[in-house]
Structure 1
């Protein structure tokens, strides 16, 4: 954030000095985790479902915090500065918005059901070639995350890329009106967070709220081939900039390449050719949205190529590695029916380039799908039955229906017995089973909602096979 004195922060958050004392120290940053506080920072204690950050104010001061916000009557000891506020999360947001108003950077906001974080990473790396650009290091897309992202900026920042997510009505309206982005990208809209948004029209309406905060002179970037295009277009005063299809303002053309996902993708946006050395054809569409914004900002095709070459996907998003001959594809950060289908297509393409070993799908529950959760899981199972999978391991809850549908479809097509299916309600027995089962040459896909914990499972299995070199079974 910009350089501030404590008195400036007190005014920005409408706080009262409390035990702040008479001195006015410079604040070097903001931290919400007392274990990670750096000397000179402002500690912001947040109240969560299972903890209350106010219990750790003293610990933050022991690690060098210059001051702390508090919504309680609290005393941290002599010489320790406490700033009283009515609500610490609201105060953090107010400080973030003050920081936004004091600096001159521009904001590109990204929303969608899938592809937000990947598109953010593409755009951050591309803009970083020609500008001082920043973005949150993780998927910070709710009230807290957006506030922390805004506080990543300082006097040198020229462009900020921010994710905005929603699981209920009114959330994107709130975030967008406060952030006031100059540009908005909407990625793919699909079935997700159905417990709060009910159906696809409800999701589209919730995503459209993001335009309520768009700068009057700002631009929206939409994919005409994606659901909701006409509804989003109707929300705008002018025409959107379009990407992702042949007839768009920034037309996308995929150039078939031998080797598929392992060799990356060659594609054109307009007359310029680019390369994406990352798995997943859907990521080409995400990249084209980032390229569209960059071109409008004057970034050269050469700089765009440089930015794409630098980009690596965040943990749990189609990370590919090989350990002791076992091939891992970790796409476990989150899942909904759309992203699950994309992951299965990418895994099929990846496996086609490796002849040896078995194809093993480790799929966990897709959460927040509402009363039709069983249907959506069964739909994925039926789809998977037509793909070259030798072993299916499902983990937790409704993923059981995915496995049952997979088995039914295989049996009805006369392929009974050519694939094994296992279901586990807990990670521990699944870990034990897979540790004994996998062999050199096997390819494993991990995909589930983040709360299922498959990313940790993938990493543990990677360590296991690395410590115990496996041989291909004799057949």
Structure 2
């Protein structure tokens, strides 16, 4: 990227305290450890750390400019820009930078599966275009601006993951990313604690279309009843992808064998072909269909896009199959919600295995729905052929009630923390068994995975 200090001051409505307005900024960072020469450093005030304290060190490292909401005068190296709020200023500068580019931008949102879908959409598009994509799951009010700053003329398309957890958040990041196209994966109950209902979640996520123009398209998971109901009701084109007969892009003949999934895709123009994904799980089929639908819209040949999808690799801690000591570990420890947990239980069921063990930790941000959701997941686990259910945390303990309501003799073990879960697994698992590890991010269930890998 290239932006002058003067252009940044104008974009965010800031005030230049010192430094040259003609100085050129070539990157933007909120992490003082990653600041490179020529960067703009944006200190974010967090709950535990106020990053303004790192301003002197980043300037010594060669930062060209810094934003500050805590200084009214300054001197020394670099340009200092005073603003009312550094996060707001970051967003305003990014929104102005986005206006410089006419390349198609695809936004990806949904209650679960955003990161995997983003990866598949980018992979399908890469069969014909040079694609810039969100790194990791950098999908927040800070992450989306940092993604936008990576746009350049070398790219033919961009895929931007866009998440939200509260009212007004999607509108804000949509103003920054300004997607021309958008994919909605599903409407679940993630963040229902703050948003109140699935209908509210849908309404908030629909703000991803706020910057749509006459040529824009919204791609919807036709297997989600709330999203399917939007088709034909909006003032722009909608495309359904899924397994139903009414889906524009449809998957048929889904087969899982070993550690791969194959299916036939049917396109609206009658074109058909096969996709082979190097992982198991029908939800991956939907993600792949989204990639094909977007690729077709942007002019990438479907056969090429389908071939590219065979190279997909799951992001870290997201349904990764790992092995240690003869045990198959389904590492889905990154985060958890009722919908994503049920999806992972389906994958566990499909594994050829001795015992199937599910280690499920607390699912957070469910508000008043929490108790019901945890019991419901327990019922689902019992109906999914899980042999042993190990819960971690006070909320997850309610899963045992649901599981035993289905199978009164089911082997359920309640653990207070990850250490107790590791001890239980140590005596339980044998070569040939499979174990699913899943929990909300703050439960740090990756610690259990690490124990199994190094036991």
C-alpha change, 1:446 and 1:455, in structure 2 (3 Å) is same
1: CA distance, partners of 2:74 / 2:236: 54
Deviation at 1:426, TM superposition (A): 2.1
- 2:447 maps to 456
2:437 pairs with 1:438: no
- 2:59 maps to 61
Matches within 5 A, 1:249-264: 250-257=248-255, 259=257, 262-264=259-261
Secondary structure of the residue aligned to 1:240 is strand
C-alpha change, 1:232 and 1:166, in structure 2 (3 Å) is farther
C-alpha change, 1:265 and 1:45, in structure 2 (3 Å) is same
- 1:327 maps to 328
2:413 pairs with 1:422: yes
Deviation at 1:279, TM superposition (A): 2.2
Deviation at 1:254, TM superposition (A): 3.1
Q: Could you tell me whether the CA contact under 8 Å between 1:219 and 1:241 is conserved in 2?
A: yes
Task: Please give the TM-score of this superposition, normalised by the length of structure 1.
Answer: 0.89
2: CA distance, partners of 1:155 / 1:162: 16
1: CA distance, partners of 2:282 / 2:92: 40
Q: Over residues 335-382 of structure 1, what are the superposed CA-to-partner deviations in whole Å (9 max), with x where a residue is unaligned? A: 2211111111111012xx23xx42111101111111121111111111
1: CA distance, partners of 2:236 / 2:3: 39
C-alpha change, 1:202 and 1:23, in structure 2 (3 Å) is closer
Q: Over residues 180-210 of structure 1, what are the superposed CA-to-partner deviations in whole Å (9 max), with x where a residue is unaligned? A: 2211111111222111222222222222232
Secondary structure of the residue aligned to 2:374 is helix
- 1:363 maps to 360
2: CA distance, partners of 1:313 / 1:188: 19
Q: Could you tell me whether the CA contact under 8 Å between 1:173 and 1:213 is conserved in 2?
A: no
Secondary structure of the residue aligned to 1:274 is strand
Q: 1:386 aligns with which of 376, 383, 387?
A: 383
Name the structure where strand makes up a greater proportion of residues.
Answer: 2
2: CA distance, partners of 1:443 / 1:72: 53
Q: Could you tell me whether the CA contact under 8 Å between 1:256 and 1:266 is conserved in 2?
A: yes
Secondary structure of the residue aligned to 1:292 is helix
- 1:279 maps to 280
2: CA distance, partners of 1:407 / 1:189: 28
Q: Could you tell me whether the CA contact under 8 Å between 2:324 and 2:452 is conserved in 1?
A: no
2: CA distance, partners of 1:230 / 1:343: 23
1: CA distance, partners of 2:284 / 2:411: 31
- 2:317 maps to 316
2:340 pairs with 1:339: yes
CA-atom RMSD, angstroms? 2.2
Secondary structure of the residue aligned to 2:255 is coil
Secondary structure of the residue aligned to 2:139 is coil
Q: 2:264 aligns with which of 264, 267, 270?
A: 267
Q: Could you tell me whether the CA contact under 8 Å between 2:8 and 2:93 is conserved in 1?
A: yes
Q: 1:159 aligns with which of 157, 160, 163?
A: 157
- 2:2 maps to 3
Task: Please give the TM-score of this superposition, normalised by the length of structure 2.
Answer: 0.92
Further displaced range: 240-249 or 192-201: 240-249
Q: Could you tell me whether the CA contact under 8 Å between 1:184 and 1:214 is conserved in 2?
A: no
C-alpha change, 1:10 and 1:428, in structure 2 (3 Å) is same
What are the ranges of 5 or more consecutive residues in structure 2 without an aligned counterpart?
A: none
- 1:349 maps to 350
Secondary structure of the residue aligned to 1:310 is coil
Q: Over residues 220-273 of structure 1, what are the superposed CA-to-partner deviations in whole Å (9 max), with x where a residue is unaligned? A: 11233312236534652144122213434633233243625x132233233122
Matches within 5 A, 1:223-242: 223-229=221-227, 232-233=230-231, 236-242=234-240
